Structure 1
Amino acid sequence: MIQSQVTSTAPGSALSGLLLELRDAARVPALSAAVGRGGEVVWADVAAAPWAGEPTAEHAFRIGSVTKPMVAVAVLRLVSEGAVALADPIGRHLPDAPAPDATIRHLLTHTSGLQAEFPGPWWERHGGPTWDELAGSGIEQLWDPGERYHYSNPGFAVLGRLVEVVRGSAWDKVLRDELWEPLGMTATGRVPVGPAVHGYAVHPDADLVHHEPVPDYRAAGPAGEVWSTPSDLVRFGMWLVSREADRDAGEAVLPLELRRHLAVPRVVVDDAGPEGGPWATAHGLGVRVRQDGTVRTVGHGGSVPGFTADLRADVATGDVVAVCGSSTGGFGDGTTLLAAFQGDGAPTVPPVAPTAPPVSDDGPAGRQAGASGGVPAGIAGTWYWGPVPFVVQVDAAGRVDLRSARSGGRGTLFDVVGGELRGVEGGYWLGERLRAVEADGAPVALDIGTFHFTRAPYDPGTAVPGGVDEAGWHRPGATG
């Protein structure tokens, strides 16, 4: 899986080699990218392993949460027409919505207080709920609206439902009619509208792959179901920063004043983890606002099993980069490619952090935690969220420290609250539950905010939501 092939619409571009390095360093089966300047897509490229077929720049990837800013545009169009107001409690328009007292602005900025994921099995692999199932699922509101930032996929399912109810049409049809077609995003859809790549998990310690399922997300679709190409995402990004080719079409989608309203930093994204750290990211109305040194970008990242994506549009220059990959483990982000395109020195590919060694769960802290009755004995050690390694440690006070084994990854500290483990400091799972799934008196899986963690990547001996590849972990290309 080391060698790659590259197909480029800009032969000889210096970005081609960098994309190839990124693909090889992250071991992504296919990595596709595009950049835009002055309203035009000026470069597009695909780097792929020889066994991953022959994807072109026209092949679509699932873009995960890059769906969210598109849904936000549909909501802002309703605001511009006076059909809804940002200050409206969502319950005024959707009486059966969770957190009915949260406003539309709260939902767009992830400050509604809603939990991060949908109740039930890991929805990104298992499939999403219907609206009626979602409305009756008992989604938790962990905080009062406006109290703090907490990323919520259910929050955007609610916004998608709002669009459907007010427009009287499916959310993705609304996006096609009101956003994608006017901006020339002809390769974008809720399902692929042209050729598409397969999504894989790549084993962290061997040249083995595992096919990922592509379930129907149903009412959860507005949180991350869209397929697109980097070129289409670049067109969207250029529109976000008012550098679209057709200004009349762009203005018809949403006036410039409201587009700027989208990108106003409204809440700090405090996901630094238990040890804290500097803030570099804020959230606007459905978009991420990032500060990378002197460069401010708006856009969003996305991930679902089998795919990751990143969209970044430079607010000052209007330059845009979009990258899509076909691996659950991801590739990083588009920062390096954007810097290279803008000639910012000689960007190098960030080194891939090694997998951390297993942590023994036989030490005194582990035994003490088990004896306390709040933390299961034997919980410490290495666990895998799909193919991505995490390390669990238990301190002398019986608190559970979960963090990615890779530098810059997610981390949350859990403690016993009300008789169950809850995230109490930092990171994505703040406020969320951690539950051990046991067999023969020992933990064999962890359910963390509905995500399924196992001792080995996609351990078939556990109930992995969405199932496992029938071929198991296998050599790439062995099963087509």
Structure 2
Amino acid sequence: MTAAQPAPPPTTTPDEAARFADALRARCRERRVPALSAAVGRAGEVVWTGTAGWAPSGPRTAFRIGSITKPMTAVAVLRLAAAGRLRLDDPVGRHVADAPAPDATVAHLLTHTAGLPAEPPGPWWERHGAGSWDELVASGVEPLWEPGERHHYSNLGYAVLGRLLEEAHGRSWDAVLQVEVWTPLGMTATGRTPSGEAAAGYAVHPDADAVLAEPVAAYGAMGPAGEVWSTPTDLVRFGSWLVGAGGDDGDGVLPLAWRRRMAAPRAVVDDGTPFTAAWGLGVSVHHGPGEGGRPGRRTVGHGGSVPGFTATLRADPATGDVVAVCGSSTAGFGDAAFLLDLLGGPGAASASASAGAAIAADPDALTLAGTWYWGPVPHTLTPRPDGLLALGASGGVDTRATVFSRAGDGSWVGVEGGYWLGERLRVVGRGTAAEALDVGTFHFTRAPYDPATAVPGGVDPAGWRAVPGLTPADDDAVG
């Protein structure tokens, strides 16, 4: 087998860059945002940045990102779990003695199912500011539900998780994130306060061309829920790492297996509409509607909103495409999906994240690529840019579609998706040639029921026979 060739660095074409810039300017005008800043990532690299609006900003201008702070807090908590210092099913009172809802587990807090109110008692903390942990505890927080009863988004829950980090490490929650998350991931413009140029936040009058400067309040114990400043470039780095778009180089921060656990839906968002969103461990999981019979795009990320600022981070685990947008308006700009949609449909790898990247990640995967038949049904096995294998029915929506990662014994294990999640994909063959696949005991062959392989139950020796008229002519079809 020839040695793998280095993959070309991911890029954008001039046409793509122009589309991103036009879309950003259009969104800025439509939503009347003083400043918008955006970045796009492919295959673990930032490939485009842009700004729009009348308020000055540049790629390194920091914006307050509100609740996108939460997945960063979650990563630091999950590092404790990965190190064996706590369990996700531990009651939080075991680690924070004076926590509200002490019987709620760490997982309940991460998934907004602890039963806590959305906000702490007192004035609007995001604009007025919030006090210390002792003041928060003394304010008399009362749970609304029993732990695990239902999903209810709670900023309070992340204040508790931030306190857990402080108790575990003996230093402030943001100092923990600086050492354990931001610095290792190269997020040099991210912090509890801006390290350089910072955008000003405004409220834009809904009926006049007028703005009002918003205060930048100190959030005290509520900081772990939404006080961080960052840039779209740093957020794309974080999002790319979160979905493993750059491979598993970030395992030192949190192993990829744990990041996949973060992104697994655990709590459905029931707001009275058809379910399209859920919560994992510190991240939101959205599944938009598909078009033309295609499955919708699933994204992982978070949104953020505090007076004067909104931000969105969305990452597509299937393609490794990531977008982040930050704005300086209280009313916001919508979702960052308007940029993600310019990167192609679900399951379509980015132009620059082509087979070259897959070769660099795992050249053996290419020998398995292509069409395989489960009985008579064709499936496509596709090496992904991140070195994983995606298996799904050829054409149409496939509820069994699964993504596999290389396991230590040479097999592959399902790590994302449907029917074969957690199951093994094993190569069956003589020597180095792959004659068949065993996927959770199901037999896949290069031809329908290939008699040259050990098809369970055998194959009729008479083989396939023609049946005239089995496929109706167009004028015989029932409309």
TM-score of Structure 1 vs Structure 2, range by shorter chain: 0.5 to 0.7
Match in the other structure for 2:264: 264
Q: What residue in structure 2 maps to residue 123 of structure 1?
A: 125
Kindly report which structure 2 residues correspond to 1:157-236, keeping only aligned pairs within 5 A, or say none: 157-236=159-238
Partner residue in 1 for 2:449: none
Q: Which residues of 2 match residues 77-476 of structure 1 at below 5 A?
A: 77-244=79-246, 247-248=248-249, 250-271=250-271, 276-293=272-289, 294-342=296-344
**Contact map agreement 1:22 1:331 (CA 8 A) in 2:** yes
Q: Give the match's secondary structure for 1:143.
A: coil
Name 1:19's counterpart in structure 2: 24
Could you list the per-position Cα deviations for residues 166-199 of structure 1 after superposition, in whole angstroms to 9, with x for gaps in the alignment? 0111111111111111111000000001111000
Counterpart CA distance in 2 for 1:113 and 1:336 is: 33
Whole-angstrom CA distance in 2 between matches of 1:10 and 1:40: 17
Other-structure match for 1:65: 67
Measure how far apart 1:336 and its partner are. Answer: 1.1
CA distance in 1, matches of 2:145, 2:157: 13
Structure 2 Cα separation of the partners of residues 317 and 343 of structure 1: 10
Question: How far apart are the structure 2 equivalents of 1:70 and 1:132?
Answer: 23
Q: Which AA in structure 2 matches 1:32?
A: S
1:140 is displaced (CA, Å) by 1.6
* 1:45 to 2:45 alignment: no
The structure with more radius of gyration:
2
2:374 aligned partner: none
CA contact (8 A) 1:131 1:219 kept: yes
> 2:327, 2:251 → 1: CA distance?
31
Q: Give the secondary structure class of the aligned counterpart of 1:13.
A: helix
Q: Judge conservation of contact 2:116–2:142 (CA < 8 Å) in 1.
A: yes
Deviations 1:210-268, CA, capped at 9 Å, x for gaps: 000001101100000000000100000001100137x43x0100011111010110011
TM-score if structure 1 supplies the norm length? 0.67
Q: Distance in 1 between matches of 2:142 and 2:30?
A: 39
Aligned with 1:176: secondary structure? helix
Superimposed CA distance per residue, residues 287-336 of structure 1 (whole angstroms, 9 cap, x where no aligned partner): 00000121101000000000000000001001000010000000000111
Q: Aligned partners of 1:10 and 1:337: how far apart in 2? A: 15
Partner in structure 1 of residue 424 of structure 2: none
1:342 Cα offset (Å): 2.6
SS of 2:159's equivalent?
Answer: helix
Moved over 6 A (4+): 8-11
Say how many residue pairs are matched. 328
Question: Contact conserved, 1:15 with 1:341, CA < 8 A, in 2?
Answer: no
**Following TM superposition, by how much is the alpha carbon of 1:343 offset from its aligned partner in structure 2, in angstroms?**
6.7
> Separation in 2 of the partners of 1:278 and 1:316?
23
1:329-377 Cα offsets, whole Å, 9 max, x none, are 0000011110013378xxxxxxxxxxxxxxxxxxxxxxxxxxxxxxxxx
- Evaluate the alpha carbon distance shift between residue 139 and residue 340 of structure 1 in structure 2; reply closer, same or farther with a 3 A threshold: same
Structure 1: gaps (5+ residues): 1-7, 345-480
1:14 positional shift: 1.6
Q: Give CA-to-partner distance per residue, 1:57-115, whole Å, 9 cap, x none.
A: 11010000000000000000000111111111111111111001111010000000000
Tell me the secondary structure at the aligned position of residue 162 of structure 1.
Answer: helix
Post-superposition shift, 1:128? Answer: 1.1
Give the aligned residue type for 1:15: F
Q: CA deviation at 1:10?
A: 7.5
CA contact (8 A) 1:9 1:45 kept: no
Q: Contact 2:182–2:190 at 8 Å: present in 1 too?
A: yes
Tell me the SS of whatever aligns to 1:238: helix
When the two structures are superposed, what TM-score results if normalisation uses the length of structure 2? 0.67
Whether contact under 8 Å (1:202, 1:329) holds in the other structure is yes
Contact 2:297 2:345 in 1 (8 A): no
**Alignment-mate amino acid for residue 39 of structure 1:** G
Contact persistence 2:245–2:317 (CA under 8 A) = no
Given that 1:310 and 1:324 are in contact with CA atoms closer than 8 Å, whether structure 2 keeps it comes out as yes
1:425 match? none
Checking the alignment, whether the CA contact within 8 Å between 1:10 and 1:43 is kept in structure 2 is no
User: In the alignment, is the contact (CA less than 8 A) between 1:320 and 1:338 conserved in 2?
Assistant: yes
Q: Structure 2: 5+ residue runs without aligned partners?
A: 1-11, 290-295, 347-479
Query: CA separation in 1, counterparts of 2:66 and 2:148?
Result: 25
Please report how far the alpha carbon of residue 22 of structure 1 lies from its aligned counterpart in structure 2 after TM superposition.
0.3
Q: Is the 8 A contact 1:68 1:286 kept in 2?
A: yes
Letter paired with 1:118:
P
Separation in structure 2 between the aligned mates of residue 31 and residue 269 of structure 1, nearest angstrom: 28
After superposition, the CA RMSD in angstroms is 1.6
SS across alignment from 1:159: helix
Distance in 2 between residues matched to 1:93 and 1:205, nearest whole Å? 49
Classify the secondary structure of the residue corresponding to 1:328. Answer: coil
Give the letter aligned to residue 42 of structure 1.
V
Aligned sequence identity (%): 64
One-letter amino acid matched to 1:14:
R
Counterpart-to-counterpart distance in 1, 2:121 and 2:246: 39
Which secondary structure state, in structure 2, belongs to the residue aligned with residue 317 of structure 1? coil
Counterpart contact for 1:107–1:156, Cα < 8 Å: yes
Rounded to whole Å, the distance in 2 between the matches of 1:267 and 1:341 is: 28
Amino acid of the structure 1 residue aligned with 2:68:
V
